[in-house]
Amino acid sequence: MPIFSTLSLIITLIFQSPQQLKIDSLTQRLEETNGNEKVIILNDLFKMYRNNDPLKAMKYTEQALQLAYSINDYSGIAASLNNKGVLYRHSGNLDKALDNYIEALHIQEKQQFEDAIAYTYSNIGTIYSLKNEYQKALDYFLKANAQFESIGHNLRSIGTLNNIGNVYSNMNKYEDALEYYLKSDKLYNNLEDQTQAFVPFTNIGNAYFNLGKLDLALEFYNKSLVYEQRDNNLNGQANALHNFGIVFSAMGNHEQAIDFYNKALDLAQETGDKYLLKTIYESLAQMNFVMGDYFLSYSFLQLHNSVKDSLLNEESNRKIADLENAYAFEQQQKEIQHLQTESELQKLRISNDENIITGIISFSIMGIILTLVIFKEYKEIKKNKNLLEIKTGEIEVQKTIIEKKNENITESINYAQSVQNSILTFDMPSNQAHNSFILYKPKDIVSGDFYWYTNKNNYDIYVTADCTGHGVAGAFMTIIGVSILNEIIIKEGITEPKEILSILDERVINSLKHKQTNSTGTHGMDIGICLINHQTNTITFSGANRPLYYFNNGEFNEIKGSMASIGDSIIDTKVFESHNIKYSSGDSFYMTSDGYSDQFGGPKGKKFMTKRFKSLLAEIQPLEVNEQKNRLDFEIENWMENYEQTDDIVVTGIIC
């Protein structure tokens, strides 16, 4: 043999996986055996392929089933039926899985296969649990556990006790769940060799958490972490750390919760486990929201939805593959049945004498020809039907993808709405609440307009802003705007309106990285700020591309804001001016986005226009605060009538 060929052979042997070596050994033995042993080997081959090639796995267990039936091997029949149930369960066909498990159980009970019955009970319990039929699941898991205890199979009993606990947990019966988890823990601790046993620590921690016993939950989560570290299981460690975060979050220790979530995220990113990443991203989004970091909260929510979409696509592709595999398997079964029919005809011909055989052959040939013609037509019709079913299934899967993505989008938007609603503040002292109003009408679920109020250093500060875009994009800008205003005014104590605008402009640009990316400045906001000094009866206004309308002693006035938007990086130097206005009792002041005046409607489908809006403000001067708001709302609704709202609308009114 040439040297390179020898080396090639050696390399092939070296790199052949242990699983492949076992498959080769089983395949070789398959050719050499018959009867019961062959049934066992076929089912062993099923086990080798069930996770990575379900079609081939099904082929082997079907062969085992047919052989077992032919030789009355009841143990082999039951094992093969259980195997088919496993494959159907993995593909999501729970009803077919249940049918096979129950058929296997009937055989085992009739033949009194006591050991095997326990496994089948457990399989049936799993199906009922997946179908949310919890009482039936409990019945079968309890039967399985009694059987495992009677034969002294502690390893399986530990797993079954945990399954019982999981069912009770799904039923929100956490005390009952804990009882069975602790039973499994006791058995686990008494094992000499724990390497093959299910570890119940996390389940016990979950039960204690649900019962509000947080210290005990931490104790068992820590046991789980130590176990996973010893086993060098990074996903297990990430899950344990995430559980720590959940407990500290429930304790109100938000900073420590975020710390544990971040540690969990580092490990999950290392392994790339998408299910873990999805969960951790969601927890970080929620915790940063609670901590008031809305930018990070929204960012983690986007990462959560991105991973969720990826998982959905993978699941959809798997379902399509299952449909195709099911069709291929059905075709394979038909071919086997057809060959079996041909074999039986051949045996019939041989068993008769020559003259009869000749006659039978003649008629058989005619029958076969006719059968083949009919079978070919039937096969073609069935093929087309099955292909249609696959296509229909694919369409259903794609429909599910779209529905799930729409759910994700709606979930994201609703989450953005909850974030936005929580940051739009207008909580005023009770003695001043009757002096102002907000008319707030988002175009979509969330808005690109926002309002804001605080009392700082005995000054009332009102903000009305119109961010670039509307919907989620606009809402994202409102989160940035409000977060920065909180920093400037509440944390740093800066109250001068023009100074607030200058700092806001700089920080918005930095947040959006306009300067670094040479952006054309398409993101930003137009905004107006009013500071009211009740001691001096003075209002100080500064605006960025938005005006202030006010009525002083009944006379209309307007102050135009500076001709620059916040976040616009095209203009290098911006000057924001402050305007001081002495007010008298009864004077009124209004800030608004452009949504009201730009709304289409009326008899000719035209814009409401600024001129009409100013006239409307003059008309409502005699009205009380709430009546002014209601009139503005009525007029714009009446104007839109059959027209869709084109932009977000916000109007702030202040009566001194």
Cβ contact 474:501 at 8 Å: no
pLDDT of 305 higher than 90: no
Cβ contact 136:123 at 8 Å: no
Query: Do 403 and 473 belong to one domain?
Result: no
State the Cα–Cα distance between residues 445 and 596, nearest whole angstrom. 18
Query: Do 411 and 452 belong to one domain?
Result: no
State the Cα–Cα distance between residues 13 and 536, nearest whole angstrom. 92
pLDDT of residue 514: 44
Query: Do 458 and 381 belong to one domain?
Result: no
Query: Do 440 and 404 belong to one domain?
Result: no
pLDDT of residue 292: 76
Query: Do 368 and 449 belong to one domain?
Result: no
- Judged by average pLDDT, the poorest of 67-71, 210-214, 408-412 is 408-412
Q: Long-range contacts made by residues 29-37, C-beta under 8 angstroms, separation at least 24? A: 35/71, 35/73, 36/71, 36/73, 36/75, 36/76
Per the structure, the count of domains in the chain is: 2
pLDDT, one tens digit per residue, over 143-181 is: 999 988 988 888 889 999 999 999 999 999 999 999 999
pLDDT of residue 547: 96
pLDDT of residue 78: 92
Q: How confident is the model at residue 496 (pLDDT cuts 50, 70, 90)?
A: very high
Query: Do 357 and 483 belong to one domain?
Result: no
Distances in Å between the Cα of 157 and the Cα atoms of 181, 197, 207, 269, 436 are 11, 10, 19, 35, 68
pLDDT, one tens digit per residue, over 111-128 is: 988 888 988 999 999 999
- Is 190 inside a domain boundary? no
Q: If we measure between CA atoms, which residue out of 157, 645, 28, 92 comes closest to residue 393?
A: 92
Residue with tokens 């004077």: 587
Residues in the chain: 656
pLDDT of residue 564: 87
Query: Do 556 and 453 belong to one domain?
Result: yes
Query: Do 362 and 460 belong to one domain?
Result: no
- Is 469 inside a domain boundary? yes
Q: How confident is the model at residue 10 (pLDDT cuts 50, 70, 90)?
A: very low
Show the domain range for 372: 320-420
pLDDT, one tens digit per residue, over 353-383 is: 444 444 444 444 555 555 555 555 555 555 5
pLDDT of residue 423: 54
pLDDT of residue 322: 56
The residue out of 364, 390, 420 marking a domain boundary is 420
- Is 59 inside a domain boundary? no
- Is 238 inside a domain boundary? no
pLDDT more than 70, % of the chain? 76
- Is 125 inside a domain boundary? no
Listing DSSP states for 233-265 in one string gives -HHHHHHHHHHHHHHHHHTT-HHHHHHHHHHHH
Q: If we measure between CA atoms, which residue out of 173, 182, 187 comes closest to residue 220?
A: 182
- Is 452 inside a domain boundary? yes
State the Cα–Cα distance between residues 440 and 433, nearest whole angstrom. 16
Query: Do 405 and 522 belong to one domain?
Result: no
pLDDT of 394 higher than 60: no
- Is 429 inside a domain boundary? yes
Distance of CA 233 to the CA centre of its chain: 24
The residue out of 420, 445, 473 marking a domain boundary is 420
Cβ contact 114:98 at 8 Å: no
Query: Do 376 and 481 belong to one domain?
Result: no
Q: If we measure between CA atoms, which residue out of 577, 591, 562, 584 comes closest to residue 652?
A: 591
Query: Which residues, 6 or more positions from 153, have their beta carbon under 8 angstroms from its beta carbon?
Result: 115, 118
The residue out of 369, 395, 420 marking a domain boundary is 420
Query: Do 416 and 439 belong to one domain?
Result: no
Q: What is the mean pLDDT of residues 420-443?
A: 70
Listing DSSP states for 339-401 in one string gives HHHHHHHHHHHHHS-HHHHHHHHHHHHHHHHHHHHHHHHHHHHHHHHHHHHHHHHHHHHHHHH
Cβ contact 439:426 at 8 Å: no
CATH number at residue 443: 3.60.40.10
pLDDT of residue 321: 56
Query: Do 414 and 481 belong to one domain?
Result: no
Rg (Cα) of the chain, in Å, rounded?
36
